[in-house]
Structure 1
Amino acid sequence: MKSRIRALFRRRFNSWLDKRSPRTSEITLNQRRIFIIPSSAGLGFATMLLGLLLLAINYQNNLIFALCFWLFSIFLVAILHTYANLSGLLLRAGAAEPVFAGELASFHLHLEAGNRDRHRLSVGFPGQQLEICDINAETGAANVIIKYPTQRRGALRPGRMEVTSRYPLGILRCWSAPSLDWHCLVYPRPRKLRPLQNSADSGEGHIPDRSKDSDEFSGFSRYQAGQSPRRIFWKAYAKGQGLLVKQYEQSQADELILDWESLDGLDTEERLSTLCAWALDCEKNGLSYGLKLPSVSVAPATGAAQLAKVLRELAVY
């Protein structure tokens, strides 16, 4: 019963937060988005104040009255300083590099402090380890990488993050739960449940050795980012002629097609994991490879751009 009430309260509170602070790419914290509650130390501090007040009333002791009111004034001033530590802070969503399922996704967060120092800011996702940072007013900004665990492939949206401060005394907890427009592409977990079969060879598990350059040489071209370093003509580079890449006419038989239909007997996720492992092997060995799924096909090619294209299709399938 308690768990149901707690879940109902959390859903209604999140719905209220969605209306008050909708998803956006950047956000500035203000009084609508900042909440202050006493921390566990603050509750102890308030209990002590109540005890001192009762003691002062009982004994009519002016010194205890003065001490009680002085501590209470410190409590009020701490509210202002704790709020000011978050107020006006600008948060901007940065990039998030693709990862494989089961790895930690890294989300880049850009913080701008404005014209005041920020002390002991804790940023992260609820239930995960928080990153602590300080921002100097002279520097004015900081970049923080916060982690989020991934469990399944696809487009990951981590939801609301958490920004917390207990500065300066730790008796108050000032927090905000902004929803930044983050998304991260999660590739399938690579698992080779079947050996890769070359279309030019009837045997299984055979991967051609591209380092032998057995294809027919066809000339040189300028190096482009993502091409295999093994094809660079280093003698020309030593002579100051720039980076040239050897070009070969590749036989159709050496072009691998990573085919969905060749993995009969495996379920959807197992097929995607195997195709992912095959693509990584092909890229590692410098092979030209393509992808064939029931709904999409990728033409054979090589390089980092081809690997990213294939892995993306596997992730969003």
Structure 2
Amino acid sequence: MPTLFTKYFQRRLSTWLDKRVPASQEHHLNLNSIFILPSGFGWSFIILSLCLFLLGTNYQNNLMLLLSYLCLSIMLLTLFYTHQNFARLALKALPPTSFHCNQNGEIQLQVIPHLNAQRKCCNGTLFIKWLTVVRHTDTQLEYLRNRRHASAPQQSYCFSLIGNSKREQSQTLNVPLQISRRGQFTLGRMTIACDFPLGLYKCWTHLDFDQQVVVYAKPQEGPITIDKLPNADEPDNLSEITDPTSNEDFYALNDYEIGQPLNRVSWKHVAKNGNWVSKSFTSLQSDSVVLSVPSSEDVETAVSALTQATISWTSTNRVFGIQYKGLNIAPAQGAKHMGECLSALACFNDSPTLTSAPSSKPVSISSVQKKTGA
């Protein structure tokens, strides 16, 4: 019963917050998004003021009454100033960088000038912790069912604000992020609080920055099958490569295009006749291979093994592709290709109800019907 009540309360709270504080990449705090209550020290201060008032009334001591009124005035002034200071806070989230599930990632929050208070800024110390690391409406149902850290209290992180109101100077807050499973996730809400100046009141808010992150699988050695691809289109089995760091043979000179690396420029020709040309190199197409894992292996074991192989083969600047069940990635090389492979492997799952690879990546996930064309 307590677990069911907690889930029901969290679901209702999430629905209410989605209406009151909608998700956005940039938040400027206002009356609708700020909550304020006395802190533990503030409640103690209120009880002390009441005790002084009762003692002064009972013993007809005007000094005690005056002291109780002074304490009450401090509480009221601090209430308005604490709220006014926190209302000057404006935050903007930067796209998070992908990371592996066995490592810790982070999301960067940039403190920007508030639209309604550009000359003044928020002061004090911000206390930030995750209310929910992953949004409850995310389609990764398996993660929501198996996340063990959901019931544990999230760690709070402290960040001291610089207090500089100049627009050209901004402060970046790096909030750690922990997700123990691979996949593409929509980040949840984080609680941001401040008790400046006297700590009598605590202002807080729950913000959703509408960010998504791809969590790569854990790299782990496994049974990898390497298949070489023959090239039937070119009789010489030669293909042009654009990697300037390659140690392959020189192939041809082409007209230089703006944006190409300068180390590909043939400076001898530039010094001789002033024509800008770039070098091209060749490599044997037989070096292109396809990495695969036997279908009898467990999905997580296969994904971890292919992740480790992707990192290793990219570090040696090799041309490779990936083929596993319905996942087909054409051979290529470079950091961009590694990111595409890792993202596709992170989002791969046999179940059709879960998310597949991100649509922004040029990765093809073929169906069973395409096996006839392989």
Pair 1:144-2:180 in alignment: no
Counterpart of 2:233?
Answer: none
Determine the C-alpha separation between the residues in 2 that align with 1:92 and 1:111: 7
1: CA distance, partners of 2:63 / 2:119? 40
Q: Work out whether residues 217 and 249 of structure 1, in 8 Å CA contact, stay in contact via their aligned partners in 2.
A: no
Letter in 2 for 1:258: L
In 2: Cα distance, 1:234 partner to 1:84 partner: 59
Query: What's the CA shift for 1:3?
Result: 4.8
Cα distance between partner residues in 2 of 1:97 and 1:181: 14
Secondary structure at 1:151's aligned position in 2? coil
- Corresponding residue number in structure 1 for 2:44: 44
2: distance between equivalents of 1:316 and 1:295? 12
Letter paired with 2:287: D
The 5 A counterparts of 1:224-235 are none
Deviations 1:104-154 (A, max 9, x none): 222121222332131122334241332413131135632222111021111
In 2, Cα distance between the equivalents of 1:257 and 1:225? 31
1:299, CA displacement in angstroms? 1.6
Summarize deviations over 1:198-237 as a string: whole Å, max 9, x none.
538xxxxxxxxxx995x6542466799999xxxx679969
Task: Please name the residue that 1:298 is paired with.
Answer: 329
Measure the CA separation in 2 of the matches of 1:265 and 1:23.
43
Q: Give a deviation string over 1:238-268, Cα, whole Å, max 9, x none.
A: x9899966612323x3211122xx3233211
Pair 1:268-2:299 in alignment: yes
Rounded Cα–Cα distance in structure 1 between residues aligned with 2:283 and 2:218: 33
CA change 1:4–1:226 in 2 (3 A) is farther
Cα distance in 1 for residues equivalent to 2:311 and 2:2: 48
Deviating runs (4+, > 4 A) in structure 1? 1-4, 220-227, 232-237, 239-246
Structure 2 partner of 1:154: 183
- Deviation of 1:293 after TM superposition, in Å, equals 3.6
Cα distance change on mapping 1:168 and 1:312 into 2, 3 Å: same
Please tell me whether the aligned partners of residues 226 and 305 of structure 1 are also in contact (alpha carbons under 8 angstroms).
no
Residues 178-217 of structure 1 aligned to structure 2 (within 5 Å): 178-195=207-224, 197=226, 199=228, 213=247, 217=250
Tell me, in whole angstroms, the C-alpha distance in 1 between the residues paired with 2:257 and 2:175.
Answer: 36
Structure 2 equivalent of residue 175 of structure 1: 204
Q: Name the CA shift for 1:101/1:184 in 2 (closer, same or farther; >3 Å).
A: same
Question: Matched residues in 1 for 2:157 and 2:43: separation?
Answer: 23
**What are the ranges of 5 or more consecutive residues in structure 1 without an aligned counterpart?**
201-210
In structure 2, how many angstroms separate the alpha carbons of the residues matched to 1:7 and 1:182?
23
Of the structure 1 ranges 42-51 and 3-12, higher mean CA displacement relative to structure 2 is found in 3-12
Q: Quickly say closer, same or farther: Cα 1:224–1:277, change in 2 above 3 A.
A: farther
- Cα distance change, pair 175–66 in 1 and its aligned pair in 2 (3 A): same
Identity %: 25
Alignment-derived partner of residue 59 in structure 1:
59
Give the secondary-structure state (helix, strand or coil) at the position aligned to 2:51: helix
Q: Which runs of 5+ in 2 are unaligned?
A: 132-153, 230-244, 349-374
Going from structure 1 to structure 2, the CA distance change for 1:212 and 1:178 (only over 3 Å counts) comes to closer
Partner of 2:289: 256
Task: Report the Cα distance in structure 1 between the residues aligned to 2:189 and 2:325, rounded to whole angstroms.
Answer: 35
What is the identity, as a one-letter code, of the residue corresponding to 1:137?
Answer: S
Quote the Cα distance in structure 2 between the aligned partners of 1:4 and 1:95.
Answer: 34
Matched AA of 1:55: L
Query: What is the deviation of 1:171?
Result: 1.4
Tell me the CA shift for residue 290 of structure 1. 1.0
In structure 2, which of residues 117, 122, 129 is the aligned counterpart of residue 118 of structure 1? 122
Instruction: Quote how far apart the aligned CAs of 1:8 are.
Output: 3.2
Q: Is the 2:287–2:319 contact (alpha carbons within 8 Å) kept by the matching residues of 1?
A: yes
Q: Which residue does 1:75 correspond to in 2?
A: 75
Correspondence for 1:205 = none
The amino acid that maps onto 1:270 is T
- 2:242: which partner in 1? none
Normalising by the residue count of structure 2, what TM-score does the alignment of the two structures yield?
A: 0.71
Q: Could you say which residue in structure 2 is the equivalent of 1:247?
A: 281
Aligned residue identity for 2:317: G
1:89 to partner: Cα distance: 2.4
Q: How many residues align?
A: 299
Aligned equivalents of 1:173 and 1:226: distance in 2? 54
User: Aligned letter for 1:115?
Assistant: R
CA distance in structure 2 between the aligned counterparts of 1:171 and 1:55, rounded to whole angstroms: 23
Q: CA RMSD in A?
A: 3.0
Q: Report the alpha carbon displacement of residue 2 of structure 1 after superposing the two structures with TM.
A: 4.5
Equivalent position of 1:91 in the other structure: 91
Aligned-partner Cα distance in 2 for 1:265–1:295: 14
User: What amino acid is aligned across from residue 133 of structure 1 in structure 2?
Assistant: S
Bigger CA drift: 273-282 or 134-143?
A: 134-143
Inter-CA distance 174–193: structure 2 relative to 1 (3 Å threshold): same
